[in-house]
């Protein structure tokens, strides 16, 4: 019997690569996104079905989960992938930008996870795989809101993995570094029309980000392969750093904190 994976945020980037990779490896795929009517990339795959889901909309989550279970019989793996990043000085962020960041990256993960948990618990089986980031372990300038959500996701998932053990539900966290994806299209740049004190600082950091070599980025397919490893791994491993994230994690663990802070500052031209 084919296993079924339920993925959020599959219209592009990592989510899309994961949906296609799992389908090509014989899985049933419930590919969810906010506007499935605009996506025809999955029409040639008999084992992919698309569903409307907005991680900030409880009704759409419930409907997508129920319909996927109806269509495929069960869900074996949940992948919390949908997310966005707010870039800019924290003081410049609006209340709306703060809420959107938290509602999508943190509360969205909680919403979808809570919707799938009764199904997993009743079956006494299931895996929850959540896309975190190197940004959930180490912090970098001008991503204060993004880091706040990813560090929270790391703690949420680590705690959850203990309480779900009695139900044979495994919790896994994927930690990519820089990925060559459309994340930039899901990045909101926070700007203030009245506060210019951070402008020069922001421009220096942006210049270094834009000048970074994209050939050093991981590809979405690399992340999809890590997700498949997490979905099939029979061991107890919880965290799966991917590609260039391993270098940053090694430096974060081995260097004195002051040295690591200096490394991040120099790398960002500050």
Strand partners, 52: 33
Q: How many CB atoms lie within 10 A of CB 101?
A: 23
Catalytic site residue from 21, 42, 51, 146: 146
CA-based nearest residue to 6, from 36, 29, 39: 29
Catalytic site residue from 51, 132, 133, 198: 132
201 is catalytic: no
Helix (H) or strand (E) holding 116: helix 108-123
133 is catalytic: no
132 is catalytic: yes
135 Cβ contact list (under 8 Å, min separation 6): 143, 146, 147, 150
SS (H, E, C) 190-243: CCCCCCCCCHHHHHHHHHHHHCCCHHHCECHHHHHHHHHHHHHCCCCCCEEECC
270 touches 201 (CB < 8 A): yes
Catalytic site residue from 11, 49, 172, 198: 11
3-state DSSP assignment of residue 82? coil
CA dihedral 113, 165, 245, 81 (to 10 degrees): -10
Catalytic site residue from 16, 49, 150, 172: 150
CA pair distance 148, 232, nearest whole angstrom: 30
146 is catalytic: yes
Would you please indicate which residues are annotated as catalytic (active-site) residues?
A: 11, 132, 146, 150
């Amino acid at each position: 019997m084919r296993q079924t994976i339920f993925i959020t945020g599959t219209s592009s980037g990592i989510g899309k690569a994961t949906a296609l990779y799992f389908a090509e490896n014989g899985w049933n795929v419930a590919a969810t996104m906010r506007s499935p009517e605009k996506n025809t990339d999955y029409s040639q795959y008999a084992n992919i079905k698309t569903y409307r889901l907005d991680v900030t909309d409880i009704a759409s989550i419930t409907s997508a989960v129920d319909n996927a279970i109806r269509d495929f019989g069960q869900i074996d793996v949940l992948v919390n992938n949908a997310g966005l990043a707010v870039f800019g000085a924290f003081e410049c962020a609006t209340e709306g930008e703060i809420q959107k960041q938290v509602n999508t990256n943190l509360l969205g993960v909680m919403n979808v996870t809570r919707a799938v948990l009764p199904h997993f618990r009743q079956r006494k089986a299931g895996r929850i795989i959540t896309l975190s980031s190197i940004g959930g372990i180490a912090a970098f300038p001008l991503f204060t809101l993004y880091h706040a959500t990813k560090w929270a996701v790391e703690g949420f998932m680590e705690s959850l993995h203990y309480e779900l053990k009695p139900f044979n539900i495994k919790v896994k966290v994927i930690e990519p570094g820089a990925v060559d994806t459309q994340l930039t299209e899901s990045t909101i740049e926070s700007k203030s029309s009245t506060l210019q004190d951070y402008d020069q600082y922001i421009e220096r950091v942006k210049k270094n980000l834009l000048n970074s070599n994209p050939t050093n980025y991981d590809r979405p397919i690399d992340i999809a392969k890590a997700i498949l490893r997490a979905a099939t791994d029979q061991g107890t491993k919880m965290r799966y750093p991917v590609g260039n994230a391993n270098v940053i994690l090694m430096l974060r663990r081995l260097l004195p904190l002051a040295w690591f802070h200096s490394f991040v500052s120099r790398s960002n031209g500050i």
